Amino acid sequence: MRTLEPFQDYYWDFYLAQSKAVQTKIDYVLHIVMTVERVPTKFFKHIEDGIYEIRI
């Protein structure tokens, strides 16, 4: 299982500003990223040296 480390408070500021429906989508994608061995590029893109973009 993977662990995710949000950078500073940016993630929480963004997450809490979203509607409950969007928060549910974010939770779903993060669950996939943490539990699936090979995450589809539909959800996940490598940017550089351990930095990834998660697509919601």
Got the DSSP string for 5-46?
A: ---TTHHHHHHHTS-HHHHHHHHHHHHHHHH-SS--TTTEEE
Residue 38 belongs to some domain of the structure: yes
Whether pLDDT at 51 is above 90: no
What is the pLDDT, as a whole number, of residue 21? 96
Q: How far is CA 46 from CA 19, 22, 34, 42, 43, in A?
A: 27, 23, 15, 12, 11
Report the DSSP beta bridge partners of residue 32.
none
- Confidence label for 3 from pLDDT (cuts 50, 70 and 90): confident
pTM of the model: 0.74
What is the pLDDT, as a whole number, of residue 56? 81
- Confidence label for 41 from pLDDT (cuts 50, 70 and 90): confident
| Pairing of β 44-48 and β 51-54 | antiparallel
- Residue range of the domain that includes 34: 10-54
Residue 22 belongs to some domain of the structure: yes
- The per-residue pLDDT for range 11-28, each reduced to its tens digit, is 899 999 999 999 999 999
Residue 26 belongs to some domain of the structure: yes
